[in-house]
Structure 1
Amino acid sequence: MASAIKTRNAATRLLAAVAVLSGLVLSTAQAHAATPPSSAEVSAATTTALPEVDMEATVLAAQIDPRRPDSTQTPGAHDSVLAVEQALQARGFLDARWVDGYFGTSTTAAYAAFQRSLGYTGLDANGLPGVTSLTALGQGRYTVTHQIRAGARLQRDGYTVDTRTQNMLTEAERLLGFSLTLSQGSYNPGGDPTSAGTHDGGGVVDINVDGMSSTTRTAVAKALRQVGFAAWVRNPTQGDWPWHIHAAAINDTDLSTQAQNQTGDYYLGLNGLANHGADDGPRIPIQTWEQYQRSH
Protein backbone atom coordinates (compact mmCIF):
# COMPACT_ATOMS: atom_id res chain seq x y z
CA MET A 1 0.00 0.00 0.00
CA ALA A 2 2.76 2.46 0.95
CA SER A 3 4.60 1.58 -2.24
CA ALA A 4 1.52 2.33 -4.34
CA ILE A 5 1.04 5.70 -2.62
CA LYS A 6 4.67 6.63 -3.26
CA THR A 7 4.33 5.67 -6.94
CA ARG A 8 1.13 7.70 -7.26
CA ASN A 9 2.76 10.75 -5.59
CA ALA A 10 5.76 10.51 -7.89
CA ALA A 11 3.51 10.40 -10.94
CA THR A 12 1.60 13.41 -9.66
CA ARG A 13 4.83 15.37 -9.15
CA LEU A 14 5.97 14.40 -12.69
CA LEU A 15 2.72 15.56 -14.22
CA ALA A 16 2.96 18.82 -12.31
CA ALA A 17 6.49 19.36 -13.55
CA VAL A 18 5.42 18.70 -17.14
CA ALA A 19 2.58 21.19 -16.77
CA VAL A 20 4.97 23.85 -15.46
CA LEU A 21 7.40 23.26 -18.33
CA SER A 22 4.57 23.37 -20.86
CA GLY A 23 3.43 26.65 -19.39
CA LEU A 24 6.93 28.05 -19.67
CA VAL A 25 7.20 26.98 -23.32
CA LEU A 26 3.78 28.44 -24.08
CA SER A 27 4.62 31.67 -22.29
CA THR A 28 7.87 31.97 -24.25
CA ALA A 29 6.08 31.38 -27.56
CA GLN A 30 3.40 33.90 -26.63
CA ALA A 31 5.99 36.44 -25.63
CA HIS A 32 7.83 35.93 -28.93
CA ALA A 33 4.60 36.29 -30.88
CA ALA A 34 3.83 39.51 -29.06
CA THR A 35 7.22 41.02 -29.95
CA PRO A 36 6.63 43.69 -32.60
CA PRO A 37 8.47 43.18 -35.95
CA SER A 38 11.55 45.26 -36.59
CA SER A 39 11.47 48.19 -39.03
CA ALA A 40 13.51 46.11 -41.47
CA GLU A 41 10.92 43.34 -41.32
CA VAL A 42 8.10 45.81 -41.87
CA SER A 43 9.95 47.37 -44.82
CA ALA A 44 10.60 43.99 -46.39
CA ALA A 45 6.97 42.98 -46.00
CA THR A 46 5.80 46.27 -47.52
CA THR A 47 8.17 45.94 -50.49
CA THR A 48 6.99 42.41 -51.13
CA ALA A 49 3.38 43.52 -51.13
CA LEU A 50 3.88 46.29 -53.71
CA PRO A 51 2.70 45.61 -57.27
CA GLU A 52 5.26 45.42 -60.06
CA VAL A 53 5.57 47.73 -63.05
CA ASP A 54 7.15 46.05 -66.06
CA MET A 55 9.28 48.82 -67.57
CA GLU A 56 9.64 47.08 -70.92
CA ALA A 57 5.88 46.82 -71.36
CA THR A 58 5.29 50.37 -70.09
CA VAL A 59 7.83 51.99 -72.41
CA LEU A 60 6.51 49.99 -75.35
CA ALA A 61 2.95 51.15 -74.63
CA ALA A 62 4.19 54.75 -74.41
CA GLN A 63 5.44 54.44 -78.00
CA ILE A 64 2.54 52.53 -79.53
CA ASP A 65 -0.62 53.73 -77.76
CA PRO A 66 -0.40 57.40 -78.82
CA ARG A 67 -0.18 56.27 -82.48
CA ARG A 68 -3.29 54.10 -82.41
CA PRO A 69 -6.47 55.28 -84.12
CA ASP A 70 -8.47 53.93 -81.18
CA SER A 71 -8.02 53.11 -77.49
CA THR A 72 -6.78 49.54 -77.97
CA GLN A 73 -4.23 48.79 -75.26
CA THR A 74 -0.79 47.31 -75.82
CA PRO A 75 -0.92 43.60 -74.93
CA GLY A 76 0.68 42.81 -71.57
CA ALA A 77 0.98 46.45 -70.54
CA HIS A 78 -2.39 47.20 -68.90
CA ASP A 79 -1.52 46.54 -65.24
CA SER A 80 1.84 48.32 -65.41
CA VAL A 81 0.47 51.37 -67.23
CA LEU A 82 -2.48 51.53 -64.84
CA ALA A 83 -0.13 51.58 -61.82
CA VAL A 84 1.88 54.40 -63.43
CA GLU A 85 -1.27 56.37 -64.19
CA GLN A 86 -2.57 55.91 -60.65
CA ALA A 87 0.72 57.27 -59.33
CA LEU A 88 0.51 60.25 -61.71
CA GLN A 89 -3.06 60.93 -60.57
CA ALA A 90 -2.06 60.70 -56.90
CA ARG A 91 0.57 63.37 -57.53
CA GLY A 92 -1.87 65.61 -59.35
CA PHE A 93 -0.44 65.22 -62.85
CA LEU A 94 -3.23 63.18 -64.47
CA ASP A 95 -7.01 63.50 -64.41
CA ALA A 96 -8.88 60.43 -63.15
CA ARG A 97 -10.67 59.92 -66.47
CA TRP A 98 -7.36 59.01 -68.13
CA VAL A 99 -6.43 56.34 -65.57
CA ASP A 100 -7.35 53.38 -67.74
CA GLY A 101 -4.23 51.37 -68.64
CA TYR A 102 -3.88 53.13 -72.02
CA PHE A 103 -0.67 55.17 -72.38
CA GLY A 104 -2.16 57.79 -74.68
CA THR A 105 -1.20 61.40 -75.31
CA SER A 106 -2.69 62.60 -72.01
CA THR A 107 -0.60 60.11 -70.04
CA THR A 108 2.48 61.04 -72.07
CA ALA A 109 1.95 64.73 -71.31
CA ALA A 110 1.38 63.98 -67.62
CA TYR A 111 4.52 61.87 -67.42
CA ALA A 112 6.54 64.61 -69.13
CA ALA A 113 5.20 67.10 -66.58
CA PHE A 114 6.28 64.78 -63.77
CA GLN A 115 9.75 64.52 -65.32
CA ARG A 116 9.98 68.31 -65.45
CA SER A 117 8.94 68.48 -61.79
CA LEU A 118 12.08 66.43 -61.06
CA GLY A 119 14.16 69.07 -62.81
CA TYR A 120 14.58 67.19 -66.10
CA THR A 121 14.64 68.94 -69.46
CA GLY A 122 15.01 67.98 -73.12
CA LEU A 123 15.25 64.24 -73.81
CA ASP A 124 14.97 63.52 -70.09
CA ALA A 125 11.49 65.08 -70.09
CA ASN A 126 10.13 63.53 -73.29
CA GLY A 127 7.27 61.64 -71.61
CA LEU A 128 9.01 58.30 -72.15
CA PRO A 129 9.65 56.58 -68.79
CA GLY A 130 13.26 56.16 -67.75
CA VAL A 131 14.52 54.07 -64.84
CA THR A 132 15.13 57.03 -62.51
CA SER A 133 11.83 58.83 -63.09
CA LEU A 134 9.79 55.61 -63.12
CA THR A 135 11.33 54.54 -59.82
CA ALA A 136 10.81 57.98 -58.26
CA LEU A 137 7.17 58.04 -59.35
CA GLY A 138 6.54 54.61 -57.85
CA GLN A 139 8.14 55.19 -54.47
CA GLY A 140 5.93 53.43 -51.94
CA ARG A 141 3.47 52.40 -54.68
CA TYR A 142 5.19 49.88 -56.96
CA THR A 143 8.54 48.32 -57.83
CA VAL A 144 10.12 48.46 -61.30
CA THR A 145 11.02 45.22 -63.09
CA HIS A 146 12.59 44.52 -66.52
CA GLN A 147 14.51 47.77 -66.40
CA ILE A 148 15.88 49.29 -69.63
CA ARG A 149 19.00 51.43 -69.83
CA ALA A 150 20.34 53.15 -72.95
CA GLY A 151 23.82 53.12 -71.44
CA ALA A 152 26.77 55.43 -71.99
CA ARG A 153 27.31 57.29 -75.24
CA LEU A 154 30.18 56.23 -77.47
CA GLN A 155 31.59 56.82 -80.93
CA ARG A 156 31.01 54.57 -83.93
CA ASP A 157 32.14 55.47 -87.47
CA GLY A 158 32.54 59.05 -86.30
CA TYR A 159 28.98 59.28 -84.96
CA THR A 160 27.50 59.15 -81.46
CA VAL A 161 25.36 56.20 -80.37
CA ASP A 162 24.44 54.76 -76.99
CA THR A 163 25.72 51.44 -75.67
CA ARG A 164 22.42 49.63 -76.15
CA THR A 165 22.28 50.64 -79.82
CA GLN A 166 25.90 49.63 -80.36
CA ASN A 167 25.23 46.19 -78.88
CA MET A 168 22.22 45.76 -81.17
CA LEU A 169 24.26 46.72 -84.24
CA THR A 170 27.02 44.31 -83.26
CA GLU A 171 24.53 41.44 -83.01
CA ALA A 172 22.98 42.34 -86.38
CA GLU A 173 26.47 42.22 -87.90
CA ARG A 174 27.00 38.78 -86.40
CA LEU A 175 23.78 37.54 -87.98
CA LEU A 176 24.75 39.01 -91.36
CA GLY A 177 28.37 37.93 -91.31
CA PHE A 178 29.70 41.36 -92.34
CA SER A 179 30.18 44.84 -90.87
CA LEU A 180 27.85 47.80 -91.21
CA THR A 181 28.86 51.43 -91.62
CA LEU A 182 26.81 54.35 -90.33
CA SER A 183 25.97 57.38 -92.44
CA GLN A 184 24.27 59.12 -89.50
CA GLY A 185 24.15 58.54 -85.77
CA SER A 186 22.14 59.58 -82.72
CA TYR A 187 21.96 62.66 -80.46
CA ASN A 188 22.20 64.95 -83.48
CA PRO A 189 19.58 67.66 -82.89
CA GLY A 190 18.97 69.65 -86.06
CA GLY A 191 21.91 67.97 -87.77
CA ASP A 192 19.87 66.72 -90.73
CA PRO A 193 16.63 68.59 -91.51
CA THR A 194 15.45 65.75 -93.78
CA SER A 195 15.32 63.39 -90.78
CA ALA A 196 12.46 65.36 -89.18
CA GLY A 197 14.03 65.15 -85.71
CA THR A 198 14.26 61.36 -85.52
CA HIS A 199 18.02 61.54 -84.89
CA ASP A 200 17.70 64.23 -82.20
CA GLY A 201 17.74 61.61 -79.46
CA GLY A 202 19.26 58.17 -78.94
CA GLY A 203 18.64 54.80 -80.56
CA VAL A 204 18.42 55.98 -84.19
CA VAL A 205 21.01 55.41 -86.93
CA ASP A 206 21.23 55.40 -90.72
CA ILE A 207 23.18 52.60 -92.43
CA ASN A 208 25.31 53.29 -95.52
CA VAL A 209 24.23 50.95 -98.34
CA ASP A 210 26.69 51.99 -101.05
CA GLY A 211 27.57 48.96 -103.17
CA MET A 212 24.79 46.79 -101.71
CA SER A 213 22.40 44.95 -103.98
CA SER A 214 18.66 45.14 -103.41
CA THR A 215 18.77 41.66 -101.89
CA THR A 216 21.54 42.65 -99.46
CA ARG A 217 19.73 45.84 -98.42
CA THR A 218 16.65 43.78 -97.59
CA ALA A 219 18.76 41.26 -95.67
CA VAL A 220 20.29 44.07 -93.58
CA ALA A 221 16.88 45.55 -92.79
CA LYS A 222 15.68 42.09 -91.76
CA ALA A 223 18.65 41.49 -89.46
CA LEU A 224 18.15 44.88 -87.85
CA ARG A 225 14.49 44.07 -87.26
CA GLN A 226 15.42 40.72 -85.76
CA VAL A 227 17.49 42.35 -83.01
CA GLY A 228 14.89 44.99 -82.15
CA PHE A 229 15.11 47.88 -84.59
CA ALA A 230 12.25 49.40 -86.51
CA ALA A 231 14.17 49.44 -89.80
CA TRP A 232 13.33 50.41 -93.37
CA VAL A 233 15.22 50.70 -96.64
CA ARG A 234 14.84 54.33 -97.75
CA ASN A 235 15.14 55.43 -101.38
CA PRO A 236 15.41 58.84 -103.12
CA THR A 237 11.78 58.75 -104.31
CA GLN A 238 10.59 58.95 -100.69
CA GLY A 239 12.45 62.12 -99.71
CA ASP A 240 15.47 64.33 -100.18
CA TRP A 241 18.02 61.63 -99.32
CA PRO A 242 20.16 58.94 -100.95
CA TRP A 243 19.58 55.20 -100.60
CA HIS A 244 20.11 54.18 -96.98
CA ILE A 245 18.59 52.08 -94.19
CA HIS A 246 16.93 53.97 -91.38
CA ALA A 247 16.79 52.15 -88.03
CA ALA A 248 15.23 53.15 -84.70
CA ALA A 249 15.91 51.00 -81.64
CA ILE A 250 12.53 50.06 -80.15
CA ASN A 251 12.26 50.91 -76.42
CA ASP A 252 15.42 53.02 -76.31
CA THR A 253 14.51 55.40 -73.49
CA ASP A 254 16.38 58.28 -75.19
CA LEU A 255 14.26 58.22 -78.36
CA SER A 256 13.13 61.62 -79.56
CA THR A 257 9.38 62.13 -79.84
CA GLN A 258 9.59 61.74 -83.62
CA ALA A 259 11.48 58.44 -83.26
CA GLN A 260 8.97 57.22 -80.69
CA ASN A 261 6.27 57.87 -83.25
CA GLN A 262 8.18 55.84 -85.84
CA THR A 263 8.54 52.81 -83.59
CA GLY A 264 4.86 53.02 -82.72
CA ASP A 265 3.98 53.15 -86.43
CA TYR A 266 6.21 50.14 -87.07
CA TYR A 267 4.14 48.05 -84.65
CA LEU A 268 1.01 49.21 -86.45
CA GLY A 269 2.29 48.06 -89.84
CA LEU A 270 3.29 51.48 -91.20
CA ASN A 271 6.43 52.78 -92.92
CA GLY A 272 7.43 55.42 -90.36
CA LEU A 273 7.13 58.25 -92.88
CA ALA A 274 4.87 61.29 -92.83
CA ASN A 275 2.60 59.73 -95.47
CA HIS A 276 1.72 56.89 -93.04
CA GLY A 277 2.09 54.37 -95.84
CA ALA A 278 2.11 50.62 -95.38
CA ASP A 279 5.29 48.99 -94.10
CA ASP A 280 7.45 48.18 -97.15
CA GLY A 281 10.10 46.19 -95.27
CA PRO A 282 10.53 42.47 -94.56
CA ARG A 283 7.73 41.38 -92.25
CA ILE A 284 8.93 39.29 -89.33
CA PRO A 285 7.67 38.89 -85.74
CA ILE A 286 8.38 42.18 -83.98
CA GLN A 287 10.45 42.10 -80.81
CA THR A 288 12.59 44.41 -78.70
CA TRP A 289 16.31 43.96 -78.02
CA GLU A 290 15.55 42.60 -74.56
CA GLN A 291 13.08 40.07 -75.93
CA TYR A 292 15.62 38.99 -78.55
CA GLN A 293 18.28 38.47 -75.89
CA ARG A 294 15.98 36.30 -73.80
CA SER A 295 15.20 34.08 -76.78
CA HIS A 296 18.84 33.53 -77.82
Structure 2
Amino acid sequence: MKLPSIAAALAAAALLPTLTGASQTPAALAADAKALPSLNMEATVKAAQIDPRRADDTLTPGAKASVLLVERALRDRNLLDAQWVDGYFGTTTIAAYAKYQKSLGYTGLDASGLPGRTSLAKLGAGRFTVTRVVQPGARVSTGGVVVNTRTRDMLAEAERLLGRDLALDQGSYNPGGDPTSAGTHDGGGVVDVSVDGMSAATRTAAARALRRVGFAAWVRSPSQGDWPWHIHAAAISDTDLSGQAQHQTGDYYLGLNGLADRGPDDGPKVTIRTWEEYRLHS
Protein backbone atom coordinates (compact mmCIF):
# COMPACT_ATOMS: atom_id res chain seq x y z
CA MET A 1 0.00 0.00 0.00
CA LYS A 2 1.31 3.39 -0.96
CA LEU A 3 1.43 5.85 1.96
CA PRO A 4 0.22 9.43 1.29
CA SER A 5 2.84 12.10 1.06
CA ILE A 6 3.38 14.46 3.97
CA ALA A 7 2.05 17.35 1.86
CA ALA A 8 -1.14 15.45 1.07
CA ALA A 9 -1.66 14.56 4.71
CA LEU A 10 -1.24 18.19 5.77
CA ALA A 11 -3.69 19.37 3.13
CA ALA A 12 -6.26 16.83 4.30
CA ALA A 13 -5.79 17.95 7.90
CA ALA A 14 -6.35 21.57 6.92
CA LEU A 15 -9.65 20.64 5.29
CA LEU A 16 -10.88 18.58 8.25
CA PRO A 17 -12.33 21.46 10.37
CA THR A 18 -14.32 22.73 7.39
CA LEU A 19 -15.63 19.30 6.48
CA THR A 20 -16.59 18.37 10.02
CA GLY A 21 -17.95 21.77 11.11
CA ALA A 22 -15.25 22.14 13.78
CA SER A 23 -14.35 25.49 15.33
CA GLN A 24 -13.47 28.31 12.99
CA THR A 25 -10.94 31.07 13.41
CA PRO A 26 -12.15 34.47 14.71
CA ALA A 27 -11.64 35.90 11.24
CA ALA A 28 -13.83 33.20 9.71
CA LEU A 29 -16.53 33.72 12.31
CA ALA A 30 -16.47 37.48 11.63
CA ALA A 31 -16.82 36.79 7.92
CA ASP A 32 -19.83 34.56 8.61
CA ALA A 33 -21.43 37.32 10.71
CA LYS A 34 -20.92 39.82 7.91
CA ALA A 35 -22.68 37.44 5.53
CA LEU A 36 -25.86 37.53 7.63
CA PRO A 37 -28.47 40.21 6.96
CA SER A 38 -28.65 43.00 9.53
CA LEU A 39 -31.75 43.93 11.50
CA ASN A 40 -32.23 47.60 12.39
CA MET A 41 -33.53 47.47 15.96
CA GLU A 42 -34.53 51.16 15.99
CA ALA A 43 -36.76 50.66 12.95
CA THR A 44 -38.18 47.39 14.28
CA VAL A 45 -39.14 48.84 17.67
CA LYS A 46 -40.63 51.90 15.96
CA ALA A 47 -42.86 49.66 13.84
CA ALA A 48 -43.87 47.62 16.89
CA GLN A 49 -45.15 50.82 18.53
CA ILE A 50 -46.89 52.37 15.51
CA ASP A 51 -48.32 49.48 13.48
CA PRO A 52 -50.69 48.11 16.16
CA ARG A 53 -52.26 51.59 16.41
CA ARG A 54 -52.87 52.09 12.69
CA ALA A 55 -56.34 51.97 11.20
CA ASP A 56 -54.93 50.31 8.07
CA ASP A 57 -51.99 48.12 7.05
CA THR A 58 -49.63 50.90 6.01
CA LEU A 59 -46.03 49.85 6.69
CA THR A 60 -43.75 51.93 8.87
CA PRO A 61 -41.22 53.58 6.53
CA GLY A 62 -37.78 51.99 6.67
CA ALA A 63 -38.88 49.06 8.83
CA LYS A 64 -40.16 46.44 6.39
CA ALA A 65 -36.91 44.53 5.79
CA SER A 66 -36.15 44.26 9.51
CA VAL A 67 -39.70 43.33 10.48
CA LEU A 68 -39.69 40.60 7.84
CA LEU A 69 -36.57 39.10 9.43
CA VAL A 70 -38.39 38.93 12.77
CA GLU A 71 -41.57 37.52 11.28
CA ARG A 72 -39.77 34.82 9.28
CA ALA A 73 -37.92 33.71 12.40
CA LEU A 74 -41.19 33.59 14.37
CA ARG A 75 -42.83 31.64 11.54
CA ASP A 76 -40.02 29.09 11.55
CA ARG A 77 -40.58 28.62 15.28
CA ASN A 78 -44.28 27.96 14.59
CA LEU A 79 -45.27 31.10 16.49
CA LEU A 80 -46.61 33.09 13.52
CA ASP A 81 -48.70 31.89 10.60
CA ALA A 82 -47.13 32.49 7.18
CA GLN A 83 -49.95 34.82 6.13
CA TRP A 84 -48.72 37.38 8.67
CA VAL A 85 -45.16 37.50 7.33
CA ASP A 86 -45.75 40.85 5.61
CA GLY A 87 -43.43 43.45 7.16
CA TYR A 88 -46.26 44.85 9.29
CA PHE A 89 -45.63 44.61 13.05
CA GLY A 90 -49.30 44.59 13.99
CA THR A 91 -51.12 43.05 16.92
CA THR A 92 -50.70 39.49 15.59
CA THR A 93 -46.93 39.87 15.35
CA ILE A 94 -46.85 41.54 18.77
CA ALA A 95 -48.70 38.55 20.25
CA ALA A 96 -46.36 36.11 18.51
CA TYR A 97 -43.29 37.95 19.75
CA ALA A 98 -44.70 37.95 23.29
CA LYS A 99 -45.09 34.16 23.06
CA TYR A 100 -41.49 33.92 21.93
CA GLN A 101 -40.33 36.06 24.87
CA LYS A 102 -42.28 33.87 27.28
CA SER A 103 -40.69 30.77 25.71
CA LEU A 104 -37.35 32.24 26.84
CA GLY A 105 -38.66 32.46 30.40
CA TYR A 106 -39.36 36.19 30.31
CA THR A 107 -42.29 37.66 32.22
CA GLY A 108 -43.87 41.06 32.82
CA LEU A 109 -42.29 43.96 30.95
CA ASP A 110 -39.84 41.58 29.30
CA ALA A 111 -42.67 39.68 27.62
CA SER A 112 -44.78 42.56 26.31
CA GLY A 113 -44.24 41.80 22.63
CA LEU A 114 -41.98 44.84 22.19
CA PRO A 115 -38.60 43.51 20.96
CA GLY A 116 -35.64 43.93 23.28
CA ARG A 117 -31.95 43.57 22.51
CA THR A 118 -31.43 40.19 24.18
CA SER A 119 -34.52 38.51 22.74
CA LEU A 120 -33.74 39.83 19.24
CA ALA A 121 -30.18 38.51 19.47
CA LYS A 122 -31.45 35.07 20.50
CA LEU A 123 -34.08 35.07 17.76
CA GLY A 124 -31.48 36.07 15.18
CA ALA A 125 -28.80 33.53 16.09
CA GLY A 126 -27.52 32.22 12.77
CA ARG A 127 -30.14 34.26 10.89
CA PHE A 128 -29.36 37.98 11.31
CA THR A 129 -27.28 40.45 13.27
CA VAL A 130 -28.80 43.28 15.32
CA THR A 131 -27.70 46.86 14.59
CA ARG A 132 -28.83 50.31 15.78
CA VAL A 133 -29.43 48.88 19.25
CA VAL A 134 -31.80 50.58 21.70
CA GLN A 135 -31.17 49.99 25.41
CA PRO A 136 -33.07 51.52 28.35
CA GLY A 137 -30.17 50.98 30.75
CA ALA A 138 -30.22 50.39 34.48
CA ARG A 139 -32.78 51.79 36.88
CA VAL A 140 -31.59 54.85 38.75
CA SER A 141 -33.04 57.43 41.13
CA THR A 142 -33.32 61.05 40.02
CA GLY A 143 -35.36 63.86 41.51
CA GLY A 144 -36.80 61.50 44.09
CA VAL A 145 -38.26 59.06 41.53
CA VAL A 146 -37.03 55.99 39.65
CA VAL A 147 -36.22 56.10 35.92
CA ASN A 148 -33.72 54.30 33.70
CA THR A 149 -30.46 55.78 32.50
CA ARG A 150 -31.74 56.45 28.98
CA THR A 151 -34.67 58.47 30.39
CA ARG A 152 -32.37 60.29 32.82
CA ASP A 153 -30.05 61.33 30.00
CA MET A 154 -32.98 62.47 27.87
CA LEU A 155 -34.32 64.61 30.72
CA ALA A 156 -30.90 66.18 31.26
CA GLU A 157 -30.67 67.17 27.59
CA ALA A 158 -34.21 68.58 27.63
CA GLU A 159 -33.26 70.69 30.64
CA ARG A 160 -30.21 71.98 28.77
CA LEU A 161 -32.33 72.95 25.78
CA LEU A 162 -34.93 74.61 27.99
CA GLY A 163 -32.40 76.36 30.20
CA ARG A 164 -34.03 75.31 33.46
CA ASP A 165 -34.40 72.26 35.70
CA LEU A 166 -37.48 70.07 35.54
CA ALA A 167 -39.11 68.65 38.68
CA LEU A 168 -40.78 65.25 38.43
CA ASP A 169 -44.15 64.43 39.99
CA GLN A 170 -44.01 60.76 39.02
CA GLY A 171 -41.36 58.48 37.59
CA SER A 172 -41.22 55.06 35.93
CA TYR A 173 -41.59 51.44 37.11
CA ASN A 174 -44.46 52.51 39.33
CA PRO A 175 -47.19 49.84 39.14
CA GLY A 176 -50.11 50.59 41.39
CA GLY A 177 -49.24 54.29 41.46
CA ASP A 178 -51.55 57.12 40.43
CA PRO A 179 -54.69 55.37 39.09
CA THR A 180 -55.33 58.25 36.66
CA SER A 181 -52.15 57.23 34.82
CA ALA A 182 -53.93 54.12 33.49
CA GLY A 183 -50.82 51.94 33.71
CA THR A 184 -48.56 54.15 31.61
CA HIS A 185 -46.04 54.45 34.45
CA ASP A 186 -45.95 50.70 35.16
CA GLY A 187 -42.88 50.31 32.94
CA GLY A 188 -39.90 52.42 32.01
CA GLY A 189 -39.48 55.60 30.01
CA VAL A 190 -42.47 57.54 31.39
CA VAL A 191 -42.45 60.58 33.69
CA ASP A 192 -44.82 63.32 34.77
CA VAL A 193 -43.17 66.74 34.91
CA SER A 194 -44.36 69.37 37.38
CA VAL A 195 -45.44 72.70 35.87
CA ASP A 196 -45.77 74.56 39.17
CA GLY A 197 -44.77 78.18 38.62
CA MET A 198 -44.67 77.85 34.85
CA SER A 199 -46.56 80.18 32.55
CA ALA A 200 -48.53 78.74 29.64
CA ALA A 201 -45.68 79.69 27.32
CA THR A 202 -43.11 77.97 29.53
CA ARG A 203 -45.22 74.82 29.74
CA THR A 204 -45.33 74.69 25.96
CA ALA A 205 -41.59 75.36 25.72
CA ALA A 206 -40.90 72.52 28.18
CA ALA A 207 -43.07 70.11 26.18
CA ARG A 208 -41.26 71.17 23.01
CA ALA A 209 -37.83 70.52 24.57
CA LEU A 210 -38.97 67.09 25.74
CA ARG A 211 -40.26 66.26 22.27
CA ARG A 212 -37.08 67.37 20.61
CA VAL A 213 -34.98 64.85 22.55
CA GLY A 214 -37.32 61.91 21.89
CA PHE A 215 -40.27 62.04 24.27
CA ALA A 216 -43.90 61.84 23.26
CA ALA A 217 -44.86 64.73 25.51
CA TRP A 218 -48.11 66.58 26.14
CA VAL A 219 -49.22 69.32 28.52
CA ARG A 220 -52.13 67.83 30.47
CA SER A 221 -54.84 70.04 31.97
CA PRO A 222 -57.54 69.34 34.60
CA SER A 223 -60.16 69.61 31.85
CA GLN A 224 -58.77 66.44 30.23
CA GLY A 225 -58.96 64.18 33.27
CA ASP A 226 -58.90 63.86 37.02
CA TRP A 227 -55.43 65.34 37.42
CA PRO A 228 -53.68 68.70 38.00
CA TRP A 229 -51.70 70.55 35.33
CA HIS A 230 -48.57 68.60 34.38
CA ILE A 231 -46.55 67.40 31.39
CA HIS A 232 -46.83 63.70 30.59
CA ALA A 233 -43.80 62.36 28.72
CA ALA A 234 -43.09 58.88 27.35
CA ALA A 235 -39.64 58.08 25.94
CA ILE A 236 -40.17 56.83 22.39
CA SER A 237 -38.77 53.33 21.75
CA ASP A 238 -37.89 52.61 25.38
CA THR A 239 -38.11 48.82 25.31
CA ASP A 240 -39.33 48.83 28.94
CA LEU A 241 -42.50 50.77 28.07
CA SER A 242 -45.72 49.34 29.46
CA GLY A 243 -48.33 48.29 26.92
CA GLN A 244 -50.34 51.44 27.57
CA ALA A 245 -47.28 53.64 27.07
CA GLN A 246 -46.43 51.79 23.85
CA HIS A 247 -49.88 52.75 22.58
CA GLN A 248 -49.27 56.39 23.51
CA THR A 249 -46.00 56.56 21.58
CA GLY A 250 -47.63 54.90 18.58
CA ASP A 251 -50.45 57.45 18.69
CA TYR A 252 -47.91 60.27 18.95
CA TYR A 253 -46.37 59.18 15.64
CA LEU A 254 -49.87 59.14 14.14
CA GLY A 255 -50.61 62.73 15.21
CA LEU A 256 -52.84 61.89 18.18
CA ASN A 257 -52.98 63.13 21.77
CA GLY A 258 -52.15 59.93 23.65
CA LEU A 259 -55.47 59.96 25.53
CA ALA A 260 -58.27 57.40 25.45
CA ASP A 261 -60.31 59.55 23.05
CA ARG A 262 -57.44 59.45 20.51
CA GLY A 263 -58.05 63.07 19.63
CA PRO A 264 -55.69 65.20 17.52
CA ASP A 265 -52.28 66.06 18.94
CA ASP A 266 -52.51 69.32 20.86
CA GLY A 267 -48.79 69.74 21.55
CA PRO A 268 -46.03 71.78 19.92
CA LYS A 269 -45.01 70.55 16.49
CA VAL A 270 -41.48 69.18 16.15
CA THR A 271 -39.72 66.63 13.95
CA ILE A 272 -40.37 63.30 15.67
CA ARG A 273 -37.12 61.59 16.57
CA THR A 274 -36.01 58.97 19.05
CA TRP A 275 -33.25 59.75 21.52
CA GLU A 276 -30.83 57.83 19.33
CA GLU A 277 -31.89 59.80 16.24
CA TYR A 278 -31.59 63.08 18.14
CA ARG A 279 -28.04 62.26 19.22
CA LEU A 280 -27.15 61.27 15.68
CA HIS A 281 -28.34 64.61 14.28
CA SER A 282 -27.22 66.96 17.05
TM-score (normalizing by structure 2)? 0.92
CA distance, structure 2, for counterparts of residue 211 and residue 39 of structure 1: 64
CA distance, structure 2, for counterparts of residue 112 and residue 193 of structure 1: 26
Compute the displacement of 1:192 (Å).
1.1
Compute the displacement of 1:124 (Å).
0.5
Q: Which residue, 225, 246, 250 being the options, matches 1:260?
A: 246
Compute the displacement of 1:35 (Å).
5.1
Q: Which runs of 5+ in 2 are unaligned?
A: 1-6
The corresponding residue for 1:99 is: 85
CA distance, structure 2, for counterparts of residue 117 and residue 35 of structure 1: 40
1:234 pairs with 2:223: no
Q: Deviations over 1:228-268 (max 9, x none)?
A: 00000000000000000000000000000000000000000
Q: Which runs of 5+ in 1 are unaligned?
A: 1-27
CA distance, structure 2, for counterparts of residue 259 and residue 233 of structure 1: 16
The corresponding residue for 1:278 is: 264
Q: Which amino acid aligns with 1:261?
A: H
Q: Which amino acid aligns with 1:85?
A: E
The corresponding residue for 1:71 is: 57
1:177 pairs with 2:152: no
The corresponding residue for 1:214 is: 200
CA distance, structure 1, for counterparts of residue 217 and residue 30 of structure 2: 44
Compute the displacement of 1:152 (Å).
0.7
Q: Which residue, 210, 222, 246 being the options, matches 1:224?
A: 210
The corresponding residue for 2:24 is: 39
Identity over aligned pairs, percent = 68
Q: Which amino acid aligns with 2:24?
A: S
CA distance, structure 1, for counterparts of residue 29 and residue 143 of structure 2: 49
- Aligned length in residues: 267
CA distance, structure 2, for counterparts of residue 183 and residue 44 of structure 1: 48
The corresponding residue for 2:4 is: none
1:128 pairs with 2:153: no
The corresponding residue for 1:289 is: 275
CA distance, structure 2, for counterparts of residue 133 and residue 207 of structure 1: 32
Q: Specify the SS of the correspondent of 2:224.
A: coil
Q: Which amino acid aligns with 2:211?
A: R
1:187 pairs with 2:173: yes
Q: Which residue, 127, 141, 163 being the options, matches 1:141?
A: 127
CA distance, structure 2, for counterparts of residue 264 and residue 72 of structure 1: 13
CA distance, structure 2, for counterparts of residue 272 and residue 144 of structure 1: 30
Q: Which amino acid aligns with 1:117?
A: S
Q: Specify the SS of the correspondent of 1:183.
A: strand
TM-score (normalizing by structure 1)? 0.87
Compute the displacement of 1:284 (Å).
1.0
Compute the displacement of 1:157 (Å).
1.7
CA distance, structure 2, for counterparts of residue 272 and residue 207 of structure 1: 16
Compute the displacement of 1:46 (Å).
2.3
CA distance, structure 2, for counterparts of residue 195 and residue 56 of structure 1: 26
CA distance, structure 1, for counterparts of residue 216 and residue 29 of structure 2: 42
Q: Specify the SS of the correspondent of 1:237.
A: helix
CA distance, structure 2, for counterparts of residue 124 and residue 35 of structure 1: 45
Compute the displacement of 1:185 (Å).
0.4
